[in-house]
Chain A
């Protein structure tokens, strides 16, 4: 029906996180969080193990609290579809430091590869554009990923990228599961050990 999606999810995420420096990262439930971890577990990554549909909003709260830091949310098409209203909410707030990258394999990968709505033409990038994102695009090649990695640090957001990836399932690389640990190490790394305990 559409062009074949060939991008390798692990290569996409590794490229987005190359030389990540002080980048703040939120991972959506499921494979996107495994991809982020495969690129290197990091205290300034907050991977969601649940709360499906919330990744974009966690990113928004973080971006508003830290306007001088760059926030990147990496999630999947199924997770984004569940929180589609948050695109409207972000479109109203327009945080310049927030980017959403949706790894779109047109499938619910964790549950048996059932088709998501994007397999039937639902265009998340068009929805994000209509919600007021500064730039919303569909990325189909690694040159587009390189450009996105540069652009997301320019403070010209909110940016949205629907990244068409191959529907495969690379080996699991899991982040820590303890939510208290994930939260506290993120705050300690971002705010300093004293603030994290305040």
Chain B
């Protein structure tokens, strides 16, 4: 895959969020999200909100929906664990929720402390009522986010797009 032409998948995610009329972007930074955060910060139609911890983003998204706006929450897989109790509000009130999670603790991980939460991320999300959807092919990340946004906002579901570590790794090697 290192010889494949570079695909600007963060730009594809940004375009998908824009098409889905997402206005609030809550995030705890991750290297894999850095380009997307820059694109959203530079977009006058989006309000980026830096969070001190990931569960703040779940409250933000609920408040945004109450006020008639759509939100997305960006985080790394380690942050999913921080969200669990707050996700009860999403399920019990049937708030739509769109999360985009960069995965750690899987393909080529060098930090053993990332592995337990990374490996537990899809199951933890499922147990908390969030539908995990894997995206690993750079050419199809945009459509994965578009589909997840539609599932979230049109079917009132909580959905997390999991960006495979293989995808993130491929990007960092190109930089």
A: which residues have CB within 8 A of B?
24, 26, 46, 48-66, 83, 85-86, 88-89, 92-93, 179-180, 182-183, 186-187, 190-191, 195
Contacts and interface: CB of A to CB of B under 8 A. Distances in A.
Which of B53, B65, B68, B88 has most chain A Cβ within 10 Å? B68
Nearest to B93: A179
Given A61-B60, A179-B93, A179-B94, A50 B88 contact: yes
Given A51-B85, A85-B53, A191-B68, A62 B92 contact: no
A92 B18 CA distance: 24
A61 B68 contact: no
B118 to A, nearest CB: 23
Contacts of A179: 89, 92-94
Contacts of B93: 179-180, 182-183
A86 B56 contact: yes
A32 B148 CA distance: 36
Interface string B38-59: 0000000001011111011111
Given A92-B50, A183-B95, A61 B66 contact: yes
Given A54-B58, A183-B95, A48 B89 contact: yes
Interface of B: 23-24, 47, 49-53, 55-69, 71, 85-86, 88-89, 92-95
A88 B53 CA distance: 11
A182 B65 CA distance: 13
Contact of A60 (B53, B55, B60, B65): B60
A186 B65 CA distance: 10
A55 B58 CA distance: 11
Contact of A183 (B23, B24, B59, B66): B66
* List of 7 A-B pairs having minimum Cβ-Cβ separation, nearest first: A61-B63, A65-B67, A57-B59, A179-B93, A85-B52, A54-B59, A65-B69
Nearest to A66: B67
Contact of A58 (B24, B51, B53, B59): B59
